[in-house]
Amino acid sequence: MASIFIETPGDLSHPTQLILMNNMVDDFEKLHGSWGPVGTMYFVRDFVTFENYLQSDSNDYDYDPADGTTTLSAIDALKFKNEDLPSFLVWPEYDFWSGFIRLKNATPDGNATFHATVFHEDGIFLDLIDNMPTDTWQSVLGTLVCMAAVCFVFLRSLLTVAIATTCVLSICVGQSITLFAPGTGSLA
């Protein structure tokens, strides 16, 4: 599962900037394999719910923020007031957003790019797949050399060292064939 971080969202009180951000989030949510709006941590949805609550009548006892969906209507999508952000971030329901939002961002106004960064938790391991054949033969060679040296130090017989080394080599070759057989990977 990949995570996308937006480094410079710009001034979201400008409707065009907010529409661009909403469209980008919507595009990511429509990708194959995405969980959709349910799996997106997009603070604007919570902020719009907060704005709707502030604009609702204080005597409106039927207002329930839980009735809102995870998507924004076209009218609600443009309700974004920067002056309400500090009070939004201190409300108990939304205070967890304060760890993700900087109120005074030092980016130039009118920046059309959001500097989206993709983070994939398994990326470290996926990058190592290309190195696997090289790492395998180097590990086999290192194991054989070290094992032969240890056997020679303790056994002092070249025939015994040769037999032990051949046994370990046959095990390594068998495992390499199993790992890199056609259809399961490539030994390139």
Same domain, 44 and 26: yes
For residue 50, is it within any domain? Answer: yes
Same domain, 25 and 91: yes
**Using H for helix, E for strand and C for coil, what is the string for the chain?**
CEEEEECCCCCCCCHHHHHHHHHHHHHHHCCCCCCHHHHCCCHHHHHHHHHHHHHCCCCCCCCCHHHCCCCCCCCHHHCCCHHHHHHHHHCCCCHHHHHCCCCCCCCCCCCCCCCEEEEECCHHHHHHHHHHHHHHHHHHHHHHHHHHHHHHHHHCCHHHHHHHHHHHHHHHHHHHHHHCCCCCCCCC
User: Per residue in 1-59, pLDDT tens?
Assistant: 677 787 777 777 788 888 888 888 888 888 888 888 888 888 888 888 888 877 776 55
Same domain, 94 and 149: no
Same domain, 50 and 93: yes
Q: Considering the entire predicted model, what is its pTM?
A: 0.48
> If pLDDT is split at 50, 70 and 90, which confidence band does 185 have?
low
Same domain, 117 and 150: no
The domain tally of the chain equals: 2
Same domain, 100 and 154: no
Same domain, 94 and 145: no
Same domain, 96 and 134: no
Same domain, 26 and 103: yes
Q: Identify the domain containing residue 162 by its residue range.
A: 130-179
For residue 103, is it within any domain? Answer: yes
Same domain, 16 and 100: yes
